[in-house]
Chains A and B, each alone.
Chain A
Amino acid sequence: MCDTQATQPEIKVATGDRAILPEGAKTIPIYVMGKKYEVPETLTIMKAMEFAGFKFLRGAGCRGGICGACPTVYRMAGDYKLHFGLACQTVVEADMYLAQIPFFPANRASFNINEMSAAADAIHALYPEIFRCVACNQCTKACPMDVKVLDYISATKQGEIAKAARISFDCIQCGLCSSRCLGEIPQYHVAQLARRIFARYIQPQAEHLRLRAEEIEAGKYDQMLDELSTMNTEDLESRYVNEREREPDMAAPGSWQPQDSRYL
């Protein structure tokens, strides 16, 4: 149709998230649930499976390593050792045998956040199974986020909620820890509870935030916002350009005050 393009060979380019096999690139064999597929090297497990023709319904989420939808167990041919990772973050290797665990039926206990306290008794009552922990450390070994799962379970048992909250902070709730647990403990739900109790009852609440919320609810800013909402655009631009002092980057928390305090 268009002869002028004939001299330029068409370069095949990958678009969106669809993988291609560029000219000269190598493929490697992987085994998805025991079945062999040839896929381009350097792809993630997720994209390699899509290249092979799978379409995910379960087992894919953010595709960026933070949602916990794609936990995967794998093993290399000839080796007994099991490895754990996220399909979206783990690159395929030749002769990898893999299976996804997109969901794990871990127990979750219901609670009312307003009726909890800083004491660990409530966690212990809601999740007595944490005392079934035999400290085998399989949970920590399975965590794709390198969270020290056993350490936060131990901290929770000892009533150290703040420690448990901090250690478990990077948890993405994929469930791999629970899938490996001899004591059938739902570690990631326990951690969620510890973090919520920590943030609500142990970490101090923000006083400046409480005061600001009261001011807003008393209607302090309603008139200012109405004025901005109805002002003509020229005046609005002028206020934007001329009447905004910038808080210095290095100002100590809560210390700096602008010269113009009419709108605070």
Chain B
Amino acid sequence: MGYTPELKKLIQRVEATRPERVAMARRNEHYPALTMAERNEVLNKFHPDYQEDAKRTVQVGPNKGDVFQDTVARLLESRSIIRPEKVDLSKIDLETDVLVIGGGGAGTSAAIMASEAGCSVIIANKLRHGDSNTIMAEGGIQAATQECDSPYYHFLDTIGGGHFSNQRDLVAALAKDAPLSIAWLESLGMMFNKYEDGRTVVRHCGGSSRKRLQSSGDMTGAEIMRVIRDEVRNREDKITVLEFSPAIELLLDSEGKCAGAILFNMETREYSIVRAKAVIMATGGFGRLHVKGFATTNHYGATMDGVVMAYRAGIANQSLHSTQYHPTGVTYPEQNVGLLITEKVRGLGAHVLNIDGEQFCFPLEPRDVESAELIQEAMAKGKGIMTPTGRVGLWLDSPMIEELHGPGTVRKELPAKFIQFERHGIDISKEPMLVYPTLHYQNGGINVDGNTNTTIAGLYGAGEVIGGVHGENRLMGNSLQDIITFGRRAGQSAGEYINGGVEIKDLSLDHVLSFEKELAEAGIEDPIMAPILLPDYTTDEVIAKRWQDAVKAA
């Protein structure tokens, strides 16, 4: 398919400026980097995390008074899908020791560990078991397994990378358990990249002092997910998997302990009540909220459900204001939209260019600054390139890598990207790529301690839904480790709690009633209903033709 004739014409402008830009790069001259003051200015004006215009203070709940993106704030101030006073909580549909909400990497690890502790487990999935951001993680998983490394250095690298804003007991847990996670995955039969003697292949990642990134081809997360999911399928006697049945509300008991959840069968639209002695929240991140309209690397179900449910039950969030945007996500072709283009492309010398083929920024600013500069050029200056599907992008001039480092360099250094574009008729060693910042990771989330305890007895959290592990900036390879470390810890903690003797009293939704009372008292009119479960991509034209007003009137 390749570029359309219109886009090919625009590429000529890039080619026209290339000889001079390459000559400049050969002289080691760069487009000037911003001063600290200029950085702050562009961040404040154009970075979604900094811009004040789309942020506001949350007026209710445990984070009352904190400032979040409007999209996030609206979900924190949302109302329940059900009317609590009309639910008969004496009719229990399912009983279990442990209810795991979310069957990605964290929830699935938790389920296996809870079953090891002798517990019966239900995993409630919104989509299929394993549909998650875990499965999409390509790069690798950090763990200090080598002789020159130790959990001490993993801790230091992680907390330094997070600008020392991380929650330290979580970082300590991550660093300590990381090699244990790898050993566990190995014993389950996960194929790590290894040398002949069985030593794991390790690489550096941004911010690491030791080579610590173990991997499984360029589909590490997918390999983790398919192995642990397969293991769950071997444990049918202990673990029940429910698909297309997300939780929509937590249940507490009359003593305030967590005691289960309400599930919603999305296919038959039936609700059911699950009574559980412990609940593990593992619903993942929020990329599909498309904060400020950004495309995302996240899977279809990443809609912040767990944060919403836990918030109503009184669980505060940590670092939830912080989101990781990657400056160069794909905007063309359509099937790659939102997917990442590694920083390595710019590291090899590729310039970022506007519609006129001109440079407008230093290509290797910190990620947040670089993202802000791209947004400024496209949106404020109107110098972006419009794709046939109505997306805005800027050029990333990969062909100049060939001129700087010799023919064949692109293919050798960026094999996966080369194939990904070649499949759609674009040779990135000859034609530039169209890129724009993309929403990648929810840095914050619900508060837990190092053993995944929340402030509610019997409620645990693990994976992207929790906050504090990464502080305000996450290192590559720590998200997959976060998932396994805290998933396993959550399963173990829940198992210990239950084996210590738990008696569930009368079920209650009073926390939802009092939260909604708080909404009314704060004067929040017309709160949205949440969790929203799935994003809605219906076009305005289709919505208009659904005749909502006419149907309502009838």
Pick out which of these stretches binds chain B: A71-79, A135-143, A152-160, A208-216.
A208-216
- Could you say which of B131, B199, B293, B335 contacts A67, with CB atoms under 8 Å apart? B131
CB distance from A19 to the nearest CB of B (A): 6
- Whether the Cβ atoms of A246 and B136 lie closer than 8 Å is no
Q: Is the CB of A228 within 8 A of B152?
A: yes
- Residue B266 lies at the interface, judged by CB distance under 8 Å to chain A: yes
Assess whether A3 is interfacial by the CB under 8 Å rule.
no
User: A40-B389, A195-B189, A206-B200 given as contacts; is B537 within 8 A of A244 (CB)?
Assistant: no
The answer on a CB contact under 8 Å between B159 and A173 is: no
Other-chain contact of B227, A18, A196, A217 (Cβ < 8 Å): A196
Q: Decide if B191 touches A198 in the complex (CB within 8 Å).
A: yes
Known: A209-B200, A244-B157. Contact between A257 and B538, CB under 8 A?
no
The answer to whether A16 touches B172, judged by C-beta atoms less than 8 angstroms apart, is no
**Once the chains are docked, how many angstroms separate the CA of A20 from the CA of B201?**
44
Structural contact, B390 and A56, CB atoms closer than 8 A: no
Is B549 part of the contact surface with A, judged by Cβ < 8 Å? Answer: no
Q: Are A20 and B183 in contact (CB under 8 A)?
A: no
How many A-B contacts if CB must be within 8 Å? 289
A7 at the A/B interface (Cβ < 8 Å)? Answer: no
- Residue of chain A at shortest CB distance from B184: A213
The answer to whether B337 and A17 have CB atoms under 8 Å apart is yes
Q: Is B441 an interface residue (CB 8 A)?
A: no
Residues on B with C-beta less than 8 A from A258 are 148
Could you tell me if A263 and B186 are in contact, using CB atoms closer than 8 angstroms? no
Q: Which residue of B lies closest to A226 (CB)?
A: B172
**Complex: A88 Cα to B334 Cα, angstroms:** 9
Interchain CA distance A185-B212 in the complex, whole Å: 40
Min Cβ gap B384→A in Å is 9
B150 surroundings in chain A (CB, below 8 A): 221, 224, 263-264
Known interface pairs A89-B335, A91-B333, A199-B190; A20-B151 also in contact (CB < 8 Å): no
Residues B191 and A199 in contact, CB atoms below 8 Å apart: yes
B430 part of interface (Cβ distance < 8 Å): no
B391 part of interface (Cβ distance < 8 Å) = yes
User: Are A199 and B186 touching (Cβ within 8 A)?
Assistant: yes
Majority SS at the chain B contact face: loop
B145 contacts A209, C-beta separation under 8 Å: yes
Interface residue A4 (Cβ < 8 Å from any Cβ of B):
no
Q: How far is the CB of B177 from chain A (nearest CB, A)?
A: 8
CB neighbours of B209 from chain A (8 A): 244-247
**A253 near B390: Cβ-Cβ < 8 Å:** no
A15, A205, A228: the one contacting B155 at CB < 8 Å is A228
Q: How far is the CA of A212 from the CA of B157 in the complex (A)?
A: 19
Given contacts A42-B1, A263-B153, is CB(A50)–CB(B538) below 8 Å?
yes
The interface size of chain B toward A, counting residues with CB under 8 Å, comes to: 100
B461 at the interface (CB under 8 A from A): no
Q: Report the Cα distance A224→B155, complex, angstroms.
A: 10
Residues of the B chain whose Cβ atoms lie less than 8 Å from the Cβ of A243: 156
Chain A residue nearest to B211 (CB atoms) is A247
- Interchain CB contact under 8 A, A14 and B391: yes
Q: Is the CB of B230 within 8 A of A192?
A: yes
CB pair B334–A44 under 8 Å, yes or no, is yes
**With known contacts A43-B389, A69-B127, A257-B148, A64–B136 Cβ distance under 8 A:** yes
CA distance A256 to B177 in the complex (A): 23
Q: How far is the CA of A224 from the CA of B420 in the complex (A)?
A: 44
Contact A14 B389 (CB under 8 A): yes
Q: A216-B180, A224-B152, A229-B172 are in contact. Are A50 and B389 (CB under 8 A)?
A: no
> Does B230 lie within 8 Å of A57, measured CB to CB?
no
User: For the complex, would chain A's binding face be called helix, strand, loop or mixed by DSSP majority?
Assistant: loop
Q: Is B511 an interface residue (CB 8 A)?
A: no
**Cβ B188 vs Cβ A113 within 8 A:** yes
Q: Report the Cα distance A240→B188, complex, angstroms.
A: 35
B interface footprint on A211-243 (CB within 8 Å = 1, 0 otherwise): 011001100011011101110010011011101
B297 CB contacts on chain A under 8 angstroms: 64
B152 touches A204 (CB 8 A): no
A95 to B4, CA, bound (A): 20
Which residues 380-395 in B have Cβ within 8 Å of A in the complex?
382, 386-392
- Chain B residues whose CB sits within 8 angstroms of the CB of A249 once the complex forms: 204
B-chain residues with CB within 8 Å of residue A18 when the two chains form the complex = 537-539
C-beta contact mask, B176-208 vs A, less than 8 Å → 1, else 0? 110110110011111110111111111010000
| Smallest beta-carbon distance A125→chain B, Å | 15
Which of B136, B186, B299 has a CB less than 8 Å from the CB of A206?
B186
A6, CB-defined interface residue at 8 Å:
no
B152 touches A221 (CB 8 A): yes
Encode B522-550 as 1/0 by CB contact (under 8 A) with A: 00000000000011111100100000000
In the complex, which residues of chain A have a beta carbon less than 8 angstroms from the beta carbon of B148?
Answer: 247, 254, 256-258, 264
Considering only residues 158-206 of chain A, those with a C-beta below 8 Å from chain B are 165, 169-170, 172-173, 192, 195-200, 203-206
Q: Is A36 an interface residue (CB 8 A)?
A: no
The answer to whether B164 and A20 have CB atoms under 8 Å apart is no
Task: Using known A-B contacts A16-B295, A44-B335, A60-B300, determine if residue A69 contacts B131 with beta carbons closer than 8 Å.
Answer: yes
Of the candidates B128, B192, B226, the one whose C-beta lies within 8 Å of that of A192 is: B226
Give the contact stretch, choosing among B231-239, B250-258, B346-354, B452-460.
Answer: B231-239
**What is the bound-complex CA distance between A253 and B151, given in angstroms?**
18
Which residues of B have CB within 8 Å of A91? Answer: 1, 333-335, 424
4 closest A-B pairs by CB = A196-B189, A204-B198, A15-B293, A16-B290
18 A-B contacts (beta carbon < 8 Å): A16-B293, A16-B295, A21-B390, A57-B266, A58-B244, A62-B135, A66-B135, A67-B136, A172-B222, A197-B189, A199-B191, A200-B187, A204-B198, A205-B186, A207-B197, A221-B150, A225-B151, A228-B159
Known: A169-B217, A195-B227, A243-B156. 12 other contacts (CB 8 A): A13-B390, A18-B538, A44-B335, A62-B299, A64-B299, A91-B334, A170-B219, A200-B189, A206-B198, A207-B198, A207-B199, A224-B152
